[in-house]
Amino acid sequence: MISSIQHRFALSHKGAKDFLRGTAFSTLLNIALMLPAIFLFIFLSDYLQGVFSKQLNGINRMYLYLLLGLIFMLVTWVITRLQYRSTFTSIYNESANRRVSLAEKLRQLPLAFFGEHNLSDLTSTIMSDSTELEHTFSHAVPQLFASVISITLMATGLFFYNWQLAMALFWVVPLAGFIIFMSKRSQLRKNKTIYDKKRDVSEVIQEGLDTIQEIKAYNNEARYVDQLDGRLDEYEKKLTRIELITGAMVHSAQGILKLGLASVIIIGAQLLASSSIELFTYLIFLVIGTHTYEPVNEVFNNLAALFYLDVRIQRMKEMEAMPTQKGSTDFYTNHYDITFDQVNFSYESDKPVLQNVSFTAKQGEITALVGPSGGGKSTTAKLAARFWDVDSGKITLGGKDISTINPESLLQNYSVVFQDVVLFNASVKDNIRIGKRNATDEEIIRVAKLAQCHDFIEKMPDTYDTIIGENGQTLSGGERQRISIARALLKNAPIVLLDEATASLDAENETKIQAGISELIRNKTVLIIAHRMRTVANADKVVVLKDGQVHECGNPTELKNQGRLFAKMVKRQMLTE
């Protein structure tokens, strides 16, 4: 049963056990809420039998009623506390664990995954979906099962007591349930549409935040607002329609439930008139009838969330089912040569990006990847760090297939400086320290000087403790680039990947920073993606990629003399400079 609940509701093993416990205590709470009716039953029984004013074993019955009332209150209070802990508290813990589990899952996914998926979608799954599941499971799901169980138990007991009045009281329950069941399929289909429309709205908002500079620069504010308004209007229309349908179904079902008490009044009066039942029995069913449907009404009020549940659970299952990159965490090697052996790769099955790529980037050498845009240079560099896994062929590091190495263990050997720098909303010091968590302030200052950061950092309000804003928004492109180089210098890994690391720098600062880069790449395996031919002038090997294939491979002098693609690229750039 535990495993079935885990699978059905995307819960952990502990979460499934807590769910069963919450259902059990919710059932007990529903029954405990009938204790006032039981108290009234005892009181009326004594009153009608004329023993209300008599003493029992010398004790005034009023004191007994007070004691019994206090016992019932205490029992209800204890069960309520246990029910709260087993539903709300346990579900909140499960929700926290779910978020951690999703974050852990994302950590194990290929880094390329995040370039292929919208961040607003991932954020929505971790935050919004988890919140909705938390609310539904704490307020509705255990209560739904508890309501079914408690009503079944109450109905069984009342049928044995008087089947005619029990039938009058409970005939409405299956009918109301049937109305809800008949609308479920339609609402599930519409809920999927609502979910997709909501994600569309989130994506437009995220896109606007990411591209606000471009939107303003090209006077596209009105166009963006119109697009957002259109998505919001579409989402609102769909949401209003399904809310109307859900509301109509819920209120119809609740209206039918009210007929149950009316049936008890009418049939009970007839039975009482024919002396088939006693007045006491009639009164008891009237009192019970006012409380019987409360658990069902509570579930009906959360019906929209219940029907929305499957859409969100399916999304959670999709996230959990995503394939992760795994491998050995123990990686040791005597050298750091990177070898591509007949590598083929594609982002989409029918669109190859790399075809039969083979070359070796040796330790102690600079290997430059050059070629026309779209040739596969960035893809090749990222495959070398296992951002993706190849379709066929093999990439080895120190003779070991990198697909057998855990990505986190593998990336400990890489310093990466890409053209698109990512910085955090933290201090300059903390952004550089990402390269080495236990680095001292002296080490940070040393690499900052090598990367030509020290001078502009010293001019900041709090120097190295200055907060630089989200993604370093208070810095220029060149300053951000230099901090990323300082970070790579601090890591001091045996393999260096550089994607046009000096592209954001002017000629003067580029010349200065070459000293830092020279320090970074000394005696290491270096893979450089270059668009400026002067960047590869000192390379030991040049790999020319075009249309995903290796067209040429050799040192710069050899390739110039061959007069092929590389020579033409050098000549063309010399003419434009």
For CA atoms 457, 460, 464, 470, the dihedral sign is: negative
Q: What is the mean pLDDT of residues 227-231?
A: 88
Q: What is the mean pLDDT of residues 114-127?
A: 67
41 near 288, Cβ under 8 Å? no
**What whole-number distance in Å separates Cα of residue 76 and Cα of residue 82?**
10
Lowest mean pLDDT among 47-51, 60-64, 183-187, 534-538: 47-51
Mean pLDDT of the chain: 81
Q: Give the Cα separation of 492 and 192 in Å (integer).
A: 49
The Cβ of residue 376 has, within 10 Å, a number of other Cβ atoms equal to 24
Query: Each residue of 231-258: pLDDT tens digit?
Result: 889 888 888 887 787 778 888 888 888 8
At residue 211, the pLDDT reads 81
Band (529; pLDDT cuts 50, 70, 90): confident
Q: Is the pLDDT of residue 511 over 70?
A: no
Q: Which helix or strand (DSSP H or E) is residue 185 part of? A: helix 172-210
The residues facing 395 across adjacent strands are 340
Q: How many CA atoms lie within 13 A of 53 on its CB side?
A: 1
Beta strands in 211-362 (DSSP E): 338-348, 351-361
Residue 56 has pLDDT above 60, yes or no: no
Q: Do residues 336 and 397 make contact, with C-beta atoms less than 8 angstroms apart?
A: yes
The pTM for the full model equals 0.66
Q: What does the pLDDT read at residue 563? A: 78
- Which among 467, 458, 473, 478 has a CA at the least distance from the CA of 431? 467
Tell me what pLDDT residue 331 has: 82
Q: Which residues contact 287 (CB under 8 A, 6 or more apart)?
A: 37, 40, 41
Of the CA atoms within 13 Å of residue 470, those in its CB half-sphere come to: 2
Residue 116 — very low, low, confident or very high, per pLDDT cuts 50/70/90? low
Cα gap 295→274, rounded to integer Å: 33
The predicted pLDDT at position 340 comes to 92
Inter-helix orientation angle 441-450/477-491, to 10°: 120
Which pLDDT value is given to residue 573?
Answer: 65
Length of the chain measured in residues = 577
Q: Domain segments of the chain: what residues?
A: 2-321, 338-576
Six-digit token string for 184:
């479920």
Query: Which residues make beta-bridge pairs with 354?
Result: 345
| CATH class, range 338-576 | alpha beta
Taking CA atoms, 452 is separated from 428, 478, 536, in Å, by: 14, 10, 21
Contacts of 145-149 with C-beta under 8 Å, sequence gap 24+, read 145/23, 145/26, 145/27, 146/23, 146/24, 146/26, 146/27, 146/29, 146/30, 146/295, 147/26, 147/30, 147/295, 147/296, 147/298, 147/299, 149/23, 149/27
What values do phi and psi take at 382, rounded to 5? -70, -35
The confidence score (pLDDT) of residue 516 equals 65
Please report which confidence band the pLDDT of residue 192 belongs to, taking 50, 70 and 90 as the band edges: confident
Above 80 in pLDDT, residue 356? yes
| Highest mean pLDDT (candidates 28-42, 439-453, 494-508) | 439-453
Alpha carbons 346 and 393: distance in angstroms, whole number: 12
The residue type at 59: I
Segment 259-294, tens digit of pLDDT:
888 898 999 899 888 888 887 788 778 877 777 777
* DSSP H helical ranges for 117-140: 119-123, 130-139
Q: Which CATH class, in words, describes the domain spanning 2-321?
A: mainly alpha
Q: Which residue has the higher pLDDT, 303 or 542?
A: 542
